[in-house]
A and B are shown apart, each in its own frame.
Chain A
Amino acid sequence: MPIKVPKDREVPFGAITPAPIKQQELFITSNWRIVRPVIDHEKCTRCFTCYIACPDSCWSFNEKEEKMEWNWKFCKGCQICINECPADALTAAPELDFEDGVVRLEKPF
């Protein structure tokens, strides 16, 4: 076979993966986020508006700790949850606030 894809770069057949309950590790797509939502658990009323509003299902409820949990691996930073939160529990924190002004990625592309 004249083409060989190294093991560490193989992608599942048709990019089809077992469905995650919250997230899976194969296709982490948050690299282009420039702003992330930060939650104030004191203000949060657990109304689930963020859970409903998120187009990428990045908010879930941690039943044990009884608080909302944010998925940093898939959140694109669209800020819809921040806009929709009726309790003003969410604020936007910049992701690119590096002292030297350079974005550092583990693996450049």
Chain B
Amino acid sequence: MAQEKLLSGCAAAAQGAKFAEVEVICSYPIRPYTAIMMELAKLVANGELDAEFIHGEGEHAQVSVVLGASAAGARAYTGSSGVGVTYAFEVYSPAAGGRYPLQMAIADRTLDPPGDFGSEHTDAMSARDQGWLMGWAATPQEVFDNTLINFRVGEDPKIMLPQFVCQDGYFLSHIPDKVILPELAQVREFLPPYKAPHPLSPQCPVSHGPQIRPDQGAPMDAQRAMTFLELPKVIEKATDDFNRIFGRTYDPYLEKYQMEDAEIAFFIQGAHANTCKSAIRHLRSQGVKAGMVRPRWVRPWPTAQIADALSRVKAVATVETSTSYGGAMRGGNLIHEVRASLYDLENRPLVTSFMAGLGGDVILLEDFNYMAKILLQMVKEKKVRQHVYWVGFEDEE
């Protein structure tokens, strides 16, 4: 019988890995993600999960170990946070280039400026262009579900790519919520065993990760780009199957909240979306037609779906939760992608961005009210006054 449990985001990720029957796990401690490994270590020690549990000597080693395990044909799982995510950076591109569908859980932590435990999405966002799948969950249930969906999409024979399954540190990783744990048989129906196309094996020797010539680099890049073009079909099929087998109602790409008649919209990823939804209910009680769009995937970026979802609003606020110092809009990363997604629309909405939820800051109800006030002002004036607002740090002259 499926059962309901109260689980934090970390515990939900560990349960996701358990139900995915991962075969090799590599850990190295850093908070907040480390609670995933504590949970998995317990599951392995109690005999509830039959997996090799390896202690890496650092995050670079962690990803290297699971890369090797994946090359040998095992379903492999690792994870990290903050500077751990950046320490492993060298291995990200080879993992995608060698087509190893391993999974890495990331519970966000601010990169050292110096030493900050709080959640901020810059750690994972820095790695978004390494050829991995990437997306944020907003609830422990979605963490659990994304763990399974990502393995399924990543291990598809047409895809074969590693996956970053991200969750906000603390806001999600350490706050328990109700999680439905399914039957193992349901998971097995959804997620068939991983079959590596060319596993390392003495019976059929192969070479992985060779040196290639510079003129072979560009075609490899193009072949990887082609894989990303195949992804939407695979993601849609996997989401459909997931919804059918587990009785869920996920849109493959976006969570849309009160968007039917929205005039202004927040574009936000991760668990801050939960506060955003309360803010929207509050704003609507005051007559403000606000809505929210939350991407479930950052890579592949759902360009067409975002353009469609935001095509009928007058103004959009991207809530950044990560930094892109000196970038085109001088703020975060999301506005670049959102503006680019909307560029080809005939009637583009006005788009600005808000730096919020950085360094572990909570995004408060009043912060969303402040953002809404600016959006309404933009609608009234029919123009964007600023590309970026630092919430709480604006000089309100």
Give me the interface of A with B, judged by CB distance under 8 Å. Answer: 1-3, 5, 9-11, 13-20, 24, 26-29, 31, 107, 109
Contact = CB atoms under 8 A, between A and B. Distances in A.
B219 A11 contact: yes
Given A5-B223, A14-B97, A27 B205 contact: no
Interface of B: 97-100, 160, 197-198, 205-216, 218-220, 222-223, 225-226, 229
Contacts of B99: 13-14, 16
A32 to B, nearest CB: 10
Given A3-B225, A15-B220, A16-B198, A27 B211 contact: yes
Lowest 6 A-B CB distances belong to which pairs? A19-B205, A14-B99, A29-B211, A9-B219, A16-B198, A109-B214
Contacts, number: 76
B229 A18 contact: no
Contacts of B208: 14-16
Given A2-B229, A18-B206, 12 more contacts: A5-B223, A9-B219, A11-B216, A11-B219, A16-B197, A16-B208, A18-B205, A19-B205, A19-B206, A27-B216, A31-B213, A109-B215
Contacts of B225: 3
Contacts of B198: 13-14, 16
A9 B223 CA distance: 11
A53 B197 CA distance: 33
Contact of B213 (A1, A10, A28): A28
Contacts of A9: 215-216, 218-219
Contacts of A109: 213-215
7 contacts: A1-B229, A14-B99, A14-B100, A18-B206, A19-B207, A27-B213, A29-B211
A104 B86 CA distance: 41
B205 A14 contact: no
Nearest to A21: B205
A10 B207 contact: no
Contacts of A15: 97-98, 208-210, 212, 216, 220
A21 to B, nearest CB: 9
B212 A27 contact: yes
A26 B223 CA distance: 17
Contacts of A19: 205-207
A9 to B, nearest CB: 4
Nearest to A6: B219
Contacts of B206: 16-19
B182 to A, nearest CB: 32
B229 A3 contact: yes
A3 B227 CA distance: 10
Contact of A16 (B207, B211, B223): B207
Given A3-B222, A11-B219, A31-B213, A17 B207 contact: yes
The residue in A2, A9, A11 that gathers the most chain B C-beta atoms within 10 A of its C-beta is A11
Contact of B210 (A2, A5, A17): A17
A107 B213 CA distance: 11
